[in-house]
Structure 1
Amino acid sequence: MPHDYNESLMTPEEQSDRKSLLGFSFLHFMNDMHSTSLPTIIPMLVSSISISLSQAGILNAVFGLTNLFGQPIAGYLADRQKRPWLAVWAPMLSIAGACLLPISPNYAIAFLLVGLMSMGTASFHPQGLGRTGSSAKSKDLALFIALFAACGSFGSAVGPVYVVFLISLIGKNMFPIVLIPAFIICLYIWKRVVSDQKAENITKEKADFRGFFSNMGGIMQKISPIVFAATVRDATLQGIKLFLPMLVVIKGGSIAKGGMLLFVITMACTLAGIIGGRLADSTGDEKVMLWTMGLSPIFLIAGFHTSGALSVAALVLGFALLQASNSVTTAMAQKKCPASRSSASSLAMGVSWGIANLFTTPVGFSADIIGLEKTLQIVAFLPWAVTAWYTGKMILSKRGI
């Protein structure tokens, strides 16, 4: 009864925004459940087509290049679309790539399919985040983005278990059948959930080559410190997370055990993102970002130097602290550029994530040379670069420099 009463107080436009938010959040869950399955599929490719750790790093770097260049373009176009074409249909590319990747006959095909997955992800996220931000009040911006992100994080958590379970149940040759229900879901959301949504903050400027660079350059000037912090955070997350299942296998565990570890970590990250968003709205964005990134290396390093349940607990807490600032940095960027939410999100999330995924290539090469565990321990210290940079910035600011 109270639920119906609250709904009656909403305007039709507000009800449309809430309904659309649910639709985009579910699409985020579905997209990320497939697009983040690469760490689980890599051991399968090592077994089936004998790829090396360096080649695995290159595959993940495809995500980096595509998001680095694709998300800003998608964000620029999304700010000029009245209907959410990219947010609804791009997940189909991610799902197609993920479903076909385990049956890749060679490395070249695997490379192309990873490219297809990354194109879907790069096209979806800017508009999904932009529509989420425009439906939220400014005081709840970080929380709303955190809830949208939580659906993606939950999809990422379910992804490894989902892939392993479904392939063990029906075999990897039948995995592409998932494309059929996925298409039906996208069509339903397009026709019944977002069909009546009114676009907000759509610029009347036409898309053109020169306009793209001038628009992105202006936005980047406003949010470059935020992009730097997000890049370091994402580089740490991706650099460790991609190779964590392989580290489990090297230490004598199974692929399923590695997948379950990723599941637990990502579930913790899902909750941490929501908590971080709520804290940022009440205590301040920058404060939450600096504290969480400053504390995370302590627990990540502890996780690598311990074993058993203690190691798992430390790693989970370290990842959760990193993820807590994810929605915070995106909200900070949108607040600075409220008329270009999709473009700002593409830089704060897409470019940072893209560069971070490129970072996995040298991580892979380093693992081949000095060992995987030692390399991941070095990567775990990266967030302190942001802490040092912001501390130095505050000291100089107090001295008037």
Structure 2
Amino acid sequence: MQTVTKTSPMLGDGQTPSVAPTVFRILLAISFVHFLNDSMQAVVPALYPVLKKSMSLTYTQVGLISFFFNMTSSIMQPVVGYFTDKRPSPFLLPLGMLSSMAGMFGLAMAPTFGWVLFAAMFVGLGSAVFHPEGSRVAHMAAGGRKGLAQSIYQVGGNTGQSLAPLMTAFVFVPLGQPGAAWAAILAMLAIAVLFNVSKWYRQQLSSGTVATKGKKGAGKGEIVTSNVKFAICLLILLVFARSWYSSSISNFYQFFLMEQDGLSIERAQVFVFLFMAAGAIGTFLGGPLADRFGKWRLILFSMMGAAPFAMLLPHVSLFWSYPLLFIMGVILSSSFSVTVVYAQELIPGNVGMVSGLIVGLAFGMGAIGAVVLGNVSDVYGLVTLMQWCSFLPLLGVLTFLLPKDRKSMKATS
């Protein structure tokens, strides 16, 4: 049995001594389910313009929907990860997807704002179960290519999320709230794929190739030093900044365009889709780039490189908004999967909990951000909101305080 034993805050290359091959069949399957799962999650923000109009919601109430949905996912992801680190549960994956399916039906039939919040929580719970276990499967199937594996896994989710504006324009504007029921078909397909993934997962456990904290000597030798704790806290702050800025674009930029430029709901969705689709591209490119140039350098580049474009965006015409959103989306999201691998190497042996913390935290920070940003919009207006949020990527300068991995050290020496 092989376990990762790196404990130094100076990170290694992210490859274990094992020569196990990368299992692309499983990586593509879990990425596809990630696409389906996050496509269902995308139903929630896609409904915002429809629900705002039909239920006469304020921007704060729109933010509350995002809060209930994302906080359920955020709080439960590290809990699920901690539990499955000790007791891996392969068939928890399809069971969690049943919760998402129930949430889809609930959103389609919710008669009041309170029922919308309740249904959104079921979708969040399904996401909380899927993400840490999905990340574990990607880690198990990675072989020695951790960055690439996480990118393949995460790009499925980012692609699914990018469908939200298209769903608004082509599904929910013509069909209204009941259109959410169609997303239940995605859950059924995901459950079918996950049964096969879970069988492979169970085989890995039975063969003894996967170390768990519940087994004597497995995952117990990690020493979490004060330097590692500081690095994790700093990483959380960077995720916070990235998530709040992304939340401002995905949740409120459409309303900004509708108010400032008089765009229709359908046309405003094009700009949000461009940003989110660019994010999927950036997520896929980030892993291989980090494997080659170093994780620390890519985290720094993703924040500081996006900052100039973010600060320009609220002040440019619609024509220039297209390239700015695309370039910024690619750069900002390039560290999404890299951040997960970086955190996993800071605290080895806790793949599920760390993945749940970092990925779940992104949802949680976005949830809190949605409420706060919605309140700012109601009080100060959308223009002020977009201008204030444009400075968030500048917090990327704090990356200089993070420990460098070996490839970043070689590249800067």
- Please indicate the TM-score interval, normalised by the length of the shorter structure: 0.7 to 0.9
**1:188 and 2:198 matched:** no
Task: Give yes or no for the alignment of 1:116 onto 2:122.
Answer: yes
In structure 2, relative to structure 1, the CA distance for the partners of 1:190 and 1:137 (3 Å cut) is closer
* Alpha-carbon distance, 1:205 to partner: 5.9
Rounded Cα–Cα distance in structure 1 between residues aligned with 2:229 and 2:246: 23
Distance 1:218 1:130 in 2: 25
- Could you say if the C-alpha distance between residues 158 and 78 of structure 1 is closer, same or farther in structure 2, counting changes exceeding 3 Å? same
Could you list the per-position Cα deviations for residues 84-137 of structure 1 after superposition, in whole angstroms to 9, with x for gaps in the alignment? 233333234334424542543211111111111211112211111121112213
Structure 1 residues 44-55: aligned runs within 5 Å: 44-55=50-61
State the one-letter code of the partner of 1:48.
S
Q: Which residue of 2 aligns with 1:235?
A: 244
SS of structure 1 residue aligned to 2:212: coil
1:152 paired with 2:157, answer yes
Q: Does 1:91 align with 2:74?
A: no
Asked if the contact 1:334–1:344 (Cα under 8 Å) also holds between the matched residues in 2, the reply is: yes
Superposition TM-score, scaled by structure 2 size: 0.81
TM-score, normalised by the number of residues in structure 1: 0.84
Is contact 1:49-1:105 (8 Å) kept?
Answer: no
Which stretch shows the higher mean deviation, 80-89 or 352-361? 80-89
Distance 1:282 1:258, change over 3 A: same
**1:151 to partner: Cα distance:** 0.7
Does the CA contact (< 8 Å) of 1:219 and 1:344 recur in 2? no
The match for 2:358 is 348
For 1:185 and 1:218, locate their aligned partners in 2 and report how far apart those are by CA, in whole Å.
44
What's the CA shift string for 1:277-304, capped at 9, x where partnerless?
1111111111111122012121122121
Q: Which moved more, 1:355-364 or 1:365-374?
A: 355-364
In the alignment, is the contact (CA less than 8 A) between 1:220 and 1:347 conserved in 2?
no
Work out whether residues 240 and 379 of structure 1, in 8 Å CA contact, stay in contact via their aligned partners in 2: no
Change (3 A) 1:190 1:128: closer
Partners of 1:84 and 1:285 lie apart in 2 by 29
Deviation track 1:172-207 (CA, whole Å, cap 9, x = no partner) reads 43541442x33542342244443133132322269x
Q: Is the Cα contact below 8 Å between 1:201 and 1:340 reproduced in 2?
A: no
The CA distance in 2 between the partners of 1:226 and 1:219, in whole Å, is 10
Verify: 1:305 aligned to 2:315, yes or no. yes
Listed one character per residue, the Cα deviations across residues 206-226 of structure 1 (whole Å, up to 9, x for unaligned) are: 9xxxx9xx99x9985662222
Shift of 1:51: 0.8
* Amino acid in the other structure paired with 2:350: S
SS in 2 for 1:369: helix
How far did residue 166 of structure 1 move?
Answer: 3.4
Name the counterpart of 2:301.
291
Shifted more, 185-194 versus 342-351: the winner is: 185-194
Cα pair 1:57 1:360 within 8 Å, conserved: yes
Separation in 2, partners of 1:152, 1:328: 14
Matching of residue 339 in structure 1 with residue 349 in structure 2: yes
Contact 2:132 2:355 in 1 (8 A): yes
Residues 1:225 and 2:229 aligned together = no
Cα distance in 2 for residues equivalent to 1:173 and 1:301: 38
Q: Is the 8 A contact 2:28 2:152 kept in 1?
A: no
SS of structure 1 residue aligned to 2:107: helix
**Alignment correspondent of 2:376:** 366
Percent identity at matched positions?
A: 23
Instruction: Report deviation, 1:168.
Output: 5.4
Bigger shift: residues 333-342 or 192-201 = 192-201
Residues of 1 paired with 2:99 and 2:173: CA distance?
Answer: 23
Q: CA deviation at 1:164?
A: 3.9
Aligned residue number for residue 76 of structure 1: 82
Q: Distance in 2 between matches of 1:186 and 1:315?
A: 31
Change (3 A) 1:368 1:171: closer
- Change in 2 beyond 3 A, CA 1:218/1:94: farther
Aligned length: 371
Go from structure 1 to structure 2 and tell me whether the alpha carbon gap of 1:345 and 1:265 turns closer, same or farther (over 3 Å shift): same
> In the aligned structure 2, how far is the partner of 1:314 from the partner of 1:142?
27
Partner in structure 2 of residue 248 of structure 1: 257
1:150–1:270 contact (8 Å) kept in structure 2: yes
Distance 1:14 1:84, change over 3 A: farther
- In the other structure, the counterpart of 2:288 is 278
Matches within 5 A, 1:6-85: 17-85=23-91
8 Å Cα contact 1:41/1:102 also seen in 2: no
Query: Higher helix proportion, which one?
Result: 1
Structure 1 186/258 Cα, relative in aligned 2: closer, same or farther at 3 Å? same
Distance 1:92 1:393, change over 3 A: closer
Equivalence for 1:6: none
Aligned pair partner of 2:167 in 159, 162, 171: 162
How far has the Cα of 1:265 moved from its partner?
1.5
Higher mean alpha-carbon deviation, 308-317 vs 160-169, is at 160-169
Q: 1:83 & 1:392 partners in 2: Cα distance? A: 37
Determine helix, strand or coil for the equivalent of 2:162: helix
**For residues 295-324 of structure 1, what are the alpha-carbon distances to aligned partners after superposition, in whole Å with 9 as ceiling and x for unaligned?**
212112212111122112112222222111
Q: Distance in 1 between matches of 2:231 and 2:56?
A: 45
**RMSD of Structure 2 on Structure 1 (CA):** 2.8
